[in-house]
Amino acid sequence: MPHMHINLFIQGRGHHEAAWRHPKSSALPLTDIRYTVELAQKAEASLFDSIFLADVLGLWNDVESTPFNWLEPITALAAVAMATRRIGLIATCSTTYTEPYNLARQFASLDHISGGRAGWNIVTTWSPQAGANFGHIGQVGHADRYERAEEFMTVVKGLWDSWADDAVLDDRAGGRYADRTRVKAIDHKGPHFPVVGPLNMPRAPQGRPVFVQAGSSDTGKKFAARHAEAVFTAHLDQGAAKAFYADLKGLVAAEGRDPRHVVILPGINPVIGSTEAEAARYEAELNELSDPEVGRHRLSQRFGGHDFSQLPLDAPLSVDDFPDPSKNEASRSRTEAVVALVKKERPTLRQLLAKLAGARGHFTAAGSPEMIADIMQDWFETGAADGFNLMPPVLPHQLDLFISEVVPLLRKRGLFRDAYEGETLRSHFGLSRPVGWI
């Protein structure tokens, strides 16, 4: 029986937007690398597959009341690599505002530094404040972002394969470091990226980083079917997760790829208490620390700057209160999930913002350790997930509870590993090493 995969998503002091105010969240500054290292070491001691650092390329407008990850993720994970041995290290980097040659060098370096544990979360950046920091005015359109991303993938794959595995000779006696005939230029000429290559470092231990992707729009799913090896996805209920799982696995097969080689990891935001009532009190306590106006602003950003200021907090919502997600040039998949929830449940704005405050559109469950383990087992065994992108609401407290209370239950049920079987992120996810230049 295959084991479920668990990735720890480290963001701020936890995934609830008010986590930084909670007395059980870390007191370390978010710029203190010890914070990330300590969480990674806990995850590794518990045999998690990987940790993940997100990224944003501009300062959030609500920085006065909401902190975020402040360290650049590739740099941070290079430091984490020196304090860990086995756990995978996944960093976000944008195809919209990065040059492929720089990105290829950075991730190849991280893979070498970590001994084959690097993963790249591929994003196409939608935030308008990011564009303003890179010489762009306004927002890059959804279709344009993915068109650029497709060519980006062609370039970086070529660069990572530009050295044969046997190119480095390191022959001191003979005076030859490398066999130049085993290193080739890529000579790519495209509308976005004329890149000659080759990369200026040998092929990485994994060949290339594990490709992770999180877009769930129709365009995003097709991109994932062609390229992704792990997919982070957000669903507010199990039914939506199962539909996404079946759809994406089918798209992967249609691309001629083995669906077993694309690991689907929906986000889960577990609020854990000794009883369901205690967990509900914890969740309510966090929501009391939230500012609804921060949530309203976040909602506006997701919908491309749409003005929600006139909506009352305590009146039931309808889909007519939201712009059409299919026309959204920002975070299309997440807005589709929000509108689907409103259509199904008719929450008030206050209720919607409370639901989104915990994990921004990912599944949130409050309950005892047994209840959380039951949910994870049900999703895993019924075709909704190959594992989970774990998003604890408060760090490190809720992670500690998950490790001490939920993980043993998963192991007892035969659902989670008792030991690492390999040393690379590819081995943790059951992925083969890409064939390079033979």
Give the phi and the psi of residue 397 in degrees, each rounded to 5. -55, -50
The reply to whether 356 falls in a domain is no
Structure confidence at residue 287 (pLDDT): 87
The CA distance from 334 to 106, in Å, is 29
Written as six digits, the tokens of 136 are: 């762009």
The reply to whether 293 falls in a domain is no
Confidence of residue 149 (pLDDT cuts 50, 70, 90): very high
Whether the predicted pLDDT of 326 surpasses 90: no
Q: How many CB atoms are located within 10 Å of the residue 404 CB?
A: 12
* Average pLDDT score over residue span 133-142: 70
Residues paired with 121 in a beta bridge:
92, 212
Note the pLDDT tens digit of each residue in 5-56.
999 999 999 999 889 999 999 999 999 999 999 999 999 999 999 999 999 8
The reply to whether 241 falls in a domain is yes
Cβ–Cβ under 8 Å, residues 9 and 399: no
CATH number at 253 reads 3.20.20.30
Percent of the chain topping pLDDT 90:
69
Note the pLDDT tens digit of each residue in 181-217.
999 999 999 999 999 999 999 999 999 999 999 877 8
Binding-site entries for FMN = 55, 92, 142, 146, 216-217
Range of the domain at 419: 5-277+362-429
Note the pLDDT tens digit of each residue in 258-268.
999 999 999 99
Nearest by Cα to 410 from 366, 378, 365, 367:
378
The average confidence (pLDDT) of the chain is 91
The reply to whether 273 falls in a domain is yes
pTM above 0.75, yes or no: yes
Binding-site entries = 55, 92, 142, 146, 216-217
The reply to whether 261 falls in a domain is yes
Structure confidence at residue 56 (pLDDT): 85
- The number of folded domains in the chain is 1
Note the pLDDT tens digit of each residue in 393-411.
999 999 999 999 999 999 9
Cβ–Cβ under 8 Å, residues 47 and 417: yes
The reply to whether 290 falls in a domain is no
Cβ–Cβ under 8 Å, residues 154 and 187: no
The reply to whether 235 falls in a domain is yes
The reply to whether 208 falls in a domain is yes
Which SS3 state, helix, strand or coil, does residue 215 take?
coil
Strands 88-94 and 50-53: what pairing?
A: parallel
